[in-house]
Structure 1
Amino acid sequence: MTDVTRSEFCAVAIADCFADDGEIMGSPMGLLPTLGARLAKNTSNPQLMLTDGEARILRGTPPLGQTADVTEGWMPFRLVLESVVPYGKRHVMMGASQIDRQGNQNISAIGPWDRPTRQLLGVRGAPGNTVNNKTSYWVPKHSERVVVEQVDVVSGVGRTRAEAAGPAATLFHDVHRLITNLGVFDFGGPEHTLRFVSVHPGVSVEDVRAASGCEIHADGDVPETRTPTDAELVLIRELLDPTKLREREVPTA
């Protein structure tokens, strides 16, 4: 198949985040993360357990926006918090209003701590997610206002801060990937800092650096994000997202 869109490159990059997780709970938050996790369950990780984002455990992988008649079980948040979150058997993919070079995430407020200029969601479950579970991030619009040197408020906790908090904060801590509309990154740079994994086709390393508010480490040449297979494209286009909701989040240029 030809004419692979940027949103489809993002979808397979997200799916690859869940590929090696095995039998755990996947908790993707947002449209592209949901698409990517469902793609992973159909391809690289059929053991992944997915919910509808609330309390229904899904039997299969319905198209985006549809969960009717695919409920296999029921797991309210009380059980998630008691039986899943504290034991590391979960991979969360959250959004980020800001994410910094050290892997700290902000979804709480923008501006000075004592007088913020924008109120956001609040820290919500981000501290517990990052300390207790493997965590990745999805940013649909990479910019220097989002990828920053230091977040204004720490919601999700990066590795250096987790280590400073002691062994209990690092037992399951794993900030795994940052996926954006420009590329794929991890925190394997010096002192657990942001590092290139790949750039999407049509994007250069210089493009990413120009759109970032902090340094991003590169180990030599940076490869392109892998191209979806024909089978993956069929799953995305015909089964998982036939109405092209993915294009609303990452439009084709």
Structure 2
Amino acid sequence: MSPSRAEYCVVACAEAWRGDGEVLAAPMGPIPSLGARLARLTFSPDLLLTDGEAMLVRPDGTVEGWLPYRHHLALVAGGRRHVMMGASQLDRYGNQNISCIGDWARPARQLLGVRGAPVNTLNNATSYWVPRHSRRVFVERVDMVCGVGYDRAGAVGAAYHRIPRVVSDLGVFDFATPDRSMRLVSLHPGVSVEEVRAATGFPLAVTGDVPHTREPTGAELALIREVLDPGGTREREAGAAR
């Protein structure tokens, strides 16, 4: 059976941790979590995984070490963690909003709140996962800055600020442009550049012919389907092709 859109997304998320070495992966959401575990089992064996509390775990969930909170904070503050967060809004420079929609003093919709987004983005690498790519998420200007983008990070001296990639259900993006604005890196199969542009609320950098997102290998598909997610939670998060 050919790879599904969701399986392309899992592999695209896994690629965010390629080459990171021994850093703490902090994925938020089913597909980023599958991506981190897949990366650990394949091309990033030194990646550290946590249960979200006080333990380091293997991809199957068995405990392999203790991570006291003070050590966790040392990893956070020292650039040795790579988070993959969600975003209610994301702009061309990578500023992220998960707090509110509308004026923060009287919002039209209250969301999660700022949470740990400023610390995440200023002190360690932060990627983003967006399961439904639309103009409601990819906006010209976020209503409130929670995660800090490239246009703001320099002003506060963020030594470890880095946004390696953004993954959506349409494609993969980075900020490797002269002005550090968002660039389309790859398209998931069946998606066109025009479709991505129509679903994005700001001008998107596109360089040359955009390739397809890397296809999962046979071994990766077996791990995803038989070991990591036999119940198919990935398909419920990003399974519906448009």
TM over 0.5: yes
Deviation at 1:50, TM superposition (A): 0.3
Q: 5+ residue gaps in structure 2? A: none
Percent identity (aligned)? 59
Q: Which residue of 2 aligns with 1:214?
A: 202
Distance 1:96 1:74 in 2: 30
Q: Which residue of structure 2 aligns with residue 79 of structure 1?
A: 71
Structure 2 distance, partners of 1:37, 1:205, is: 27
Give the deviation of 1:205 after TM superposition. Answer: 0.5
1:105 is the counterpart of 2:90: no
Query: Which residue number corresponds to residue 39 of structure 1?
Result: 38
For 1:90-129, list aligned pairs within 5 A.
90-129=81-120
Note if 1:154 corresponds to 2:152: no
Q: How does 1:55-204 map to 2 (within 5 A)?
A: 55-58=54-57, 60-62=58-60, 67=61, 70-81=62-73, 83-165=74-156, 167=157, 169=158, 171-204=159-192
Report if the CA contact (8 A) 1:5-1:252 is conserved.
no
Alignment correspondent of 2:218: 230
**Taking structure 2 as the reference length, what is the TM-score of the superposition?**
0.96
Task: Report the secondary structure of 1:80's partner residue.
Answer: helix
SS of the residue 1:38 aligns to = helix
- Secondary structure of 1:247's aligned partner: helix
For 1:82-117, what per-residue CA distance to the aligned partner results, in whole angstroms no more than 9, with x for missing partners? x21111111110000011011100011100233211
Count, aligned residues: 241
Q: What is the SS of the residue equivalent to 1:147? A: coil
User: Which residue does 1:205 correspond to in 2?
Assistant: 193
Q: Give runs of ≥4 in structure 1 deviating > 6 Å.
A: none
Gaps of 5+ in 1: none
The one-letter code sitting in structure 2 at the alignment partner of 1:75 is L
Secondary structure of the residue that 1:193 maps to in structure 2? Answer: coil
Deviation at 1:76, TM superposition (A): 4.3
Alpha carbons 1:28, 1:53 under 8 Å: kept: no
Output the CA distance in 2 between the equivalents of 1:208 and 1:252. Answer: 16
Paired with 2:237 and 2:140, the residues of 1 have a C-alpha distance of: 25
The Cα shift of 1:78 comes to 4.2
State the TM-score, normalizing by the size of structure 1.
Answer: 0.92
Please provide the CA RMSD for this pair. 1.2
